[in-house]
Structure 1
Amino acid sequence: MSCDEETRDAVETAARLARTEPVRSLEPLFGELPDDPGAPGVEMRACLLGELTLVGARAGESLDAYAERLLELGHPLGRLPDRRLDVEHRFMVRVRGLGPVKTSQQLRCRFPEMPPSVTGAAAARSAVGVPDDTRVRAAAGPFTAGGWARTPEVRFFALPEPLDPGDFGMSFLERLRLDCLRGDGSGVACATTVDDVLDELFRAAYHGGINGHGQGGPYARLFAWDALYALMGLPGRVPFLEAVRRTADHRWVRFVASTPWFHHDTADLGLAVLDPSRTRVAVLAATDTDVMAPDGSARP
């Protein structure tokens, strides 16, 4: 779910305070611990804690005590790491000249391309789809919350035999049953890292889509982590640092293709993940282009 209007007001107020006020002037806001997560002012304070965490400015016993109470009360932001993790170093950082990847050429310029693989193509033919609506919703969360123009495609597959990581490229992906790669058109798949993947998930929610709203730093962070856990197939009880440790055993790929699904004019994103057993694959494809049918209605 995306933030409702009341929560969005709290998000915007918290972001403004985090940008303009020193932490020492904000500490009195956390002097009284809440008993109800729905009480007035609690949502804004939860968002403010999240904003201060993202800018590396959260400190003080009163802030830590308030965060602990949010966790006890089951507030969704309360379970996030209380310090910014190294893997989150790209969050809210803009690099001049590095906008969204819109073309195969841009993807090749930024990431190492996976070579063609006859073995990978053969392995894909034996892949079996594994439906999981809960994981689908979580993986798509940053995009649906941010209001991207089109519902992302999220699919999970199982392989009868382990796939060599060197075969986990476009030759493999284009032979899976994926709507985003259906039709004539070439594609490119490149190796990437988990910090790049996590940042793309964060940005999808933080900036929002052409038909939606940005969700603010704390909730964008929450949506990004939930999506990453879903792509990795991790239960929510796994601690964040343990999840980060496990990312090294996964293989991460970005892809884009010249198929009708991708449009190359706003934001397109293709992600694929191979798990440590080399027999489980997750794929997520998202586009923020609002394509219209000839009769003026939105295409599916």
Structure 2
Amino acid sequence: MNDEANHLMTGSGSEPAYISRDEALQHAMAGDIAPLRELGSNLASRYAAAARAARIHGDDLSYLRRLLATTPGRDSVALLLKLLGDQEAAGGSMALELRLMATILAQHQSAADLDRTIFADAPEDHWLSELRRCLFHELLLRGVDPDAFPALRPGSGTHPLAWLPDRRRALETEPDFTRHSVNGSSSGVKSGLPERGRLDPPTPRPTGASPLRNSVTVDEHDLIVTAAEDNWGYAEAWVFRADRPITPAQVPALLPTLPMECVSDLGAAHRFEIAARPVGDIWSLLFATASMGGLYNSGQYGAWGRLQAWRSLAGLCGLPFHASADEVERLAEQYTWFHFRADSAFFHQDGDDYGIAALSPDGLRLAVLAATDTD
């Protein structure tokens, strides 16, 4: 133990005094508790003051980082990177901060200014490499041509984001991003059903239960809920396998009868809304859930939100974790997709909760994701 760690600060003046831990031990062994009482009181006061100061300094640094990130220009970006480097050197947590900085930079800085920032010398495990990876996908989703800015293109490697396509795919339509300013952020997942493609079954609906049973595996469940897990309040997944093909026309009436928590208390006349939607709309909903988060979480932002949306899409299509993006896209285009909401206890009426159903091309597999932004 070093000499500094072997001493305890005492005294309440601007110039603190110190006693050794051995001296404190001797007081305790002698039953002389009074000095320890004063020592404890002083230490607790100083600890509280230091914690308050740390929070204030942290808030000030956070404001300064956002100010620099939202101020266009290469000089602002360069200074921001220096501050992030200082934070990393001081042992601060960087992971979510880098994802946030990437999405703010992508919103407020030109790709040309970001491209001229030096990333090339950063090793794969350096925080600059993580920032570059996040920036690449943030800009890609915003329509930036990656070939025009080669300095921003990350290497392949084994990083989780390296799984993602290096081009924006056709199904990645209309990604909705959190909006950031120097004073904060605003977002909202648009989970309401469109009028287009509505297939609401007539009421009263039959109250009989479907003979189909949930057969989701642990791996399937975990993959399907990826976009919502830890980003929203709660999510569940179900997979039903049929002996005879289910037709898309049967799905709207079938869903309320399935043994799922999200419709378990749904009465024959309770609201059940459903719409057929293209896969691009489903991807956008999953992306918004993962990237924006909800009431309890700020989400994963653009790059990691993109990865989680693809993972959930893969799970809904019945593909394993190691499937490629090409495989996911190819099969997702063949599935029939539905978006539904209902007046059940699972679906709270705050405008954010939703259900997704995915019917396989052969009609023998029906997967469901239900997500609520409450717990």
The correspondence of residues 141-156 of structure 1 with structure 2, limited to 5 A, is 141-146=226-231, 148-149=232-233, 151-156=234-239
Instruction: Quote the residue 2:174 is aligned against.
Output: 90
User: What's the TM-score, normalizing by structure 2?
Assistant: 0.65
Instruction: Quote the residue 1:282 is aligned against.
Output: 367
Residues 239 and 366 in structure 2, CA contact (< 8 A), matched pair in contact too: yes
1: CA distance, partners of 2:109 / 2:348? 42
Q: In structure 2, do the counterparts of structure 1 residues 108 and 63 end up closer, same or farther at CA, with 3 Å as the change threshold?
A: closer
Unmatched 5+ residue regions in structure 1?
291-300
Alignment counterpart, residue 211 of structure 1, candidates 275, 280, 296: 296
Alignment counterpart, residue 264 of structure 2, candidates 182, 188, 209: 182
Residues 208 and 215 in structure 1, CA contact (< 8 A), matched pair in contact too: yes
Amino acid at match of 1:178: M
**Aligned-pair Cα RMSD in Å:** 2.7
The correspondence of residues 256-271 of structure 1 with structure 2, limited to 5 A, is 256-271=341-356
- Give the number of the structure with larger relative contact order, counting CA–CA contacts within 8 Å between residues 6 or more apart: 1
Write the deviation string for residues 147-174 of structure 1: whole angstroms up to 9, x where unpaired. x22x2121111111111221111x2111
Q: Does 2:184 correspond to 1:100?
A: no
Alignment counterpart, residue 127 of structure 2, candidates 40, 64, 77: 40
Amino acid at match of 1:61: P
Determine helix, strand or coil for the equivalent of 1:129: coil
Determine helix, strand or coil for the equivalent of 2:100: helix
Sequence identity (%): 31
The correspondence of residues 229-268 of structure 1 with structure 2, limited to 5 A, is 229-268=314-353
Residues 189 and 285 in structure 2, CA contact (< 8 A), matched pair in contact too: no
Q: Does 2:120 correspond to 1:31?
A: yes
Deviation at 1:237, TM superposition (A): 4.5
Deviating runs (4+, > 6 A) in structure 1?
none
Determine helix, strand or coil for the equivalent of 1:143: coil
User: What's the TM-score, normalizing by structure 1?
Assistant: 0.80
Report the structure number with the largest CA radius of gyration: 2
Instruction: Quote the residue 2:199 is aligned against.
Output: 113
Determine helix, strand or coil for the equivalent of 1:233: coil
Write the deviation string for residues 175-198 of structure 1: whole angstroms up to 9, x where unpaired. 111011011432222211111111
Determine helix, strand or coil for the equivalent of 1:277: coil
Determine helix, strand or coil for the equivalent of 1:157: strand
2: CA distance, partners of 1:26 / 1:109? 41
Residues 139 and 230 in structure 1, CA contact (< 8 A), matched pair in contact too: yes
Determine helix, strand or coil for the equivalent of 1:41: helix
Deviation at 1:132, TM superposition (A): 1.2
